[in-house]
Amino acid sequence: MKIIHTIAELRAWRKTVGTVAFVPTMGSLHAGHMSLIHAAKAAAEHTVVSIFVNRLQFGQGEDFDRYPRTLENDAALIAEQGGVDVIFAPDEKELYPNVIQQYQVTPPAIAEELCGAFRPGHFRGVATVVTKLFNIVEADIACFGKKDFQQLFVIQSMVKDLNMNIQILPVDTGRAEDGLALSSRNAFLTADQRNEAPRLYHHLSRMKAAIEAGDRDYSKLAVQAVTDLRVRGWHDIDYVDTRNAETLKAASNTDHKLVILIAARIGSTRLIDNIEVNLD
């Protein structure tokens, strides 16, 4: 396994190999990332994992500075799992030689809803860095986690709309035994917060069960979840929302493929999660 830091070296390597599956990450890897890597290895002859904490997708006052950076540990984890050809870990100057990235990819209005409403410019930052990475790696397939459902949606629609020559492979959310979605940000949680954190998944599961049992009053179900989360010390509950899983628009009573999405803060840590509901 090689660790490559420059675009030139990555491109030189890319010319020498066949099909490539790509897993873009911000590092601080956990078992959720590992399931993406597992899927990538099965999908092509070679696998590239990128590790880059992308300043462009963080807003002012967000956790860019404290975001965990653990390259050595990440490389050891990947080496242990085996089968990855390249870790691409550029520094900021390599990817953003200009102080400001002048050309950026602006996603459509749906990216200003849900997380986008609370993190202005976030998905433009994501779409821009992913486009740059796609242009550098020239992979055949890229794996993205359903944990970041709106991000997956933005990337899938960007690839379609801009005719990018790459296939997107969605990967199911990896969870701890108590249901908490694995996330690099879980490292910020105190022991008490970690005990409380699975509540998000608990509410998603309850809402899903209610909808499957025929309850279509999505806003009542959301209010019930929000009320309980507040009582238990959660704050800045950005949204609890049921959407059409294929369009990400507000769910109607006749939709069959739904996704319930949630974002809330516990202590200083913002967590997101979602669950799909298939009524077919």
Q: How far apart are CA 271 and CA 238, in angstroms?
A: 10
What is the smallest separation between the CB atom of 118 and ligand AMP, expressed in angstroms? 17
Cα Rg for the chain, rounded, in angstroms? 19
**Sign of the alpha-carbon torsion through 33, 34, 38, 40:** positive
> Binding string, 167-196, against ligand AMP, x = CB under 6 A?
----x-xx------xxxx------------
First to last CA, the chain: 44
Q: Scan for tokens 């010319």, then name that residue.
A: 15
Residue 38 assigned to a binding site: no
Stretch that binds ligand AMP, among 68-76, 139-147, 159-167, 248-256 (CB under 6 A): 139-147
Q: How far apart are CA 227 and CA 202, in angstroms?
A: 14
Active-site residue, from 33, 46, 122, 203:
33
Tokens describing residue 176: 């701890």
Tell me the residue number closest to ligand AMP, measured at CB.
145
Residue 30 assigned to a binding site: yes
Asked if 144 touches ligand AMP (CB under 6 A), the answer is yes
> Binding string, 7-36, against ligand AMP, x = CB under 6 A?
------------------xx-----xx-xx
Pick 54 or 242: Cβ nearer ligand AMP:
54
Pick 90 or 174: Cβ nearer ligand AMP:
174
Q: Which three-class secondary structure state does DSSP give residue 249?
A: coil
Pick 186 or 242: Cβ nearer ligand AMP:
186
Residue 101 assigned to a binding site: no
Query: Helices in the chain by DSSP H: which ranges?
Result: 7-14, 31-43, 71-81, 92-95, 115-118, 122-137, 149-161, 191-196, 199-212, 218-231
Q: Is 256 a known active-site residue?
A: no
Query: Distances in Å between the alpha carbon of 225 and those of 114, 203, 262, 271?
Result: 16, 6, 10, 15
Residue 174 assigned to a binding site: yes
Residue 2 assigned to a binding site: no
- Residues in touch with ligand AMP (CB under 6 A): 25-26, 32-33, 35-36, 144-145, 147-148, 171, 173-174, 181-184
Residue numbers belonging to the annotated binding site for (R)-pantoate: 57, 151
Residue numbers belonging to the annotated binding site for beta-alanine: 57
Catalytic residues: 33
